[in-house]
């Protein structure tokens, strides 16, 4: 892959075998050339070569980043580079993609929208009155968020760097690259023991209890992110005795992306349905960034980052209309 600047990158499964992995999980890396390359790699899996326009790019940032006002401002300023015409080549095939609009939200808002909206963008009955807690376990971070009627409750927002990365680092006595471990985990070649998962879950629950003293106060608790898949029944069995009204998404890994898609379709319903009647193309054109998850393999793209989330600014959930 070649950027307009002339920089070249290798992206995809096994990319680490070509050299030192450049993609990091540092928040400041979100707007780096290597992260832009991952963005382009995923676009190339969604769209054929040539010129395309994107009406709305929906981006979501991890909650811990948004809680750091200075760092969030710097990252959001850098994200402005996405709203332009992007010129790049993948496997010597040229792309020109114009992004006309960008909206950014805290990552867990996507899972809330996925629960709140149906495929036609209509709000579920009684959904506006429900107080919903989202427990989002990504690659790098644990994001805790509570929303009612599209408005965030700051009292119940928290999290930390307790994502799958924490588990993988504790399973890595040989010092292998994180990308290698991530790939082995997804392929089933790396199996965490019950003891390792229990220790990791304990750290997660500690953060949960500091932010949410009681799960029973929420009408719905939504576990999402790749970490929810890795923990699976262990997480389910831990939440049940806490009287949590758990809603388990059909696919926790893509729940944020699907929710942002539903929201984008709802906002642009009339214009979008007229221009893009094919739902599959609509998904790729409207909410490309929301499915990245730091380069996740949405739409078949196997890139270096899969579990965590590439989304953006600290726009409050209340700005969603």
Q: pLDDT tens for residues 75-90?
A: 888 888 889 999 999 9
Q: Is the pLDDT of residue 321 over 90?
A: no
Q: Label residue 114 by pLDDT band (50, 70, 90).
A: very high
* Range with the poorest average pLDDT among 92-96, 130-134, 239-243: 239-243
C-alpha 95/C-alpha 48 separation (Å) is 8
Which percentage of the chain shows pLDDT scores above 90?
A: 41
Exposure of 298 by Cβ count < 10 A (0-12 exposed, 13-18 middle, 19+ buried)?
Answer: buried
More confident residue, 302 or 141: 141
Backbone angles phi, psi at 132, to 5 degrees: -115, 130
Give the mean pLDDT of 249-257: 93
Q: Which residues contact 87 (CB under 8 A, 6 or more apart)?
A: 4, 94, 95, 96
**Total Cβ atoms within 10 A of residue 175:** 5
Residue 284: pLDDT band (50, 70, 90) is very low
Q: Which of 52-66, 134-148, 274-288, 290-304 has the lowest mean pLDDT?
A: 290-304
**Token representation of residue 73:** 């401002």
Better-predicted residue by pLDDT, 247 or 80: 247
Give CA–CA dist 155/158, Å, rounded. Answer: 9
pLDDT of 210 over the 70 cut: yes
Q: Is the pLDDT of residue 295 over 50?
A: no
Q: Give whole-number Cα distances, 262 to 5, 112, 183, 290, 311, in Å.
A: 34, 11, 29, 11, 15
What is the DSSP pairing of strand 220-224 with strand 131-137?
parallel
- What pLDDT does 264 receive? 82
What's the rounded mean pLDDT across residues 33-43? 88
User: Taking a C-beta distance cutoff of 8 angstroms, is the pair 62, 309 a contact?
Assistant: yes
User: Which of 247 and 68 is assigned the larger pLDDT?
Assistant: 247
Half-sphere exposure in the Cβ direction for 209 (13 Å, CA)? 9
Instruction: Band the pLDDT of 38: cuts 50, 70, 90.
Output: confident
Domains and CATH numbers, the chain: 2-106+253-319 (no CATH), 128-242 (3.30.420.40)
pLDDT score of 161 more than 70 = yes
């Amino acid at each position: 892959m070649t950027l307009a600047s002339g920089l070249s990158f290798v992206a995809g499964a096994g990319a680490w075998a070509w050299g030192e992995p450049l993609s990091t999980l540092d928040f400041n890396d979100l707007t780096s050339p290597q992260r832009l390359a991952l963005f382009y790699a995923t676009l190339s899996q969604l769209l054929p070569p040539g010129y395309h326009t994107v009406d709305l790019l929906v981006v979501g940032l991890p909650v811990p980043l948004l809680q750091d006002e200075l760092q969030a401002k710097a990252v959001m300023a850098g994200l402005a580079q996405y709203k332009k015409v992007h010129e790049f080549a993948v496997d010597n095939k040229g792309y020109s993609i114009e992004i006309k609009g960008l909206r950014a939200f805290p990552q867990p808002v996507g899972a809330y929208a996925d629960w709140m909206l149906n495929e036609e963008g209509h709000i579920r009955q009684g959904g506006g009155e429900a107080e919903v807690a989202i427990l989002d376990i990504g690659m790098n971070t644990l994001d805790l968020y509570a929303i009612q009627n599209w408005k965030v409750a700051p009292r119940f927002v928290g999290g930390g760097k307790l994502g799958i990365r924490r588990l993988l680092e504790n399973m890595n006595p040989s010092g292998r690259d994180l990308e290698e471990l991530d790939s082995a985990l997804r392929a089933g070649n790396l199996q965490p023991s019950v003891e390792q998962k229990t220790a990791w879950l304990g750290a997660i629950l500690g953060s949960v209890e500091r932010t949410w003293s009681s799960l029973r106060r929420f009408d719905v608790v939504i576990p999402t992110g790749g970490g929810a898949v890795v923990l699976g029944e262990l997480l389910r069995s831990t939440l049940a005795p806490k009287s949590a009204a758990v809603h388990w998404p059909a696919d926790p890994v893509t729940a944020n992306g699907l929710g942002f898609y539903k929201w984008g379709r709802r906002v642009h319903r009339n214009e979008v349905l007229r221009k893009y009647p094919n739902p599959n193309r609509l998904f790729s054109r409207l909410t490309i960034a929301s499915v990245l998850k730091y380069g996740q393999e949405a739409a078949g793209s196997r890139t270096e980052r899969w579990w965590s989330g590439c989304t953006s600014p600290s726009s409050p959930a209340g700005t969603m209309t």
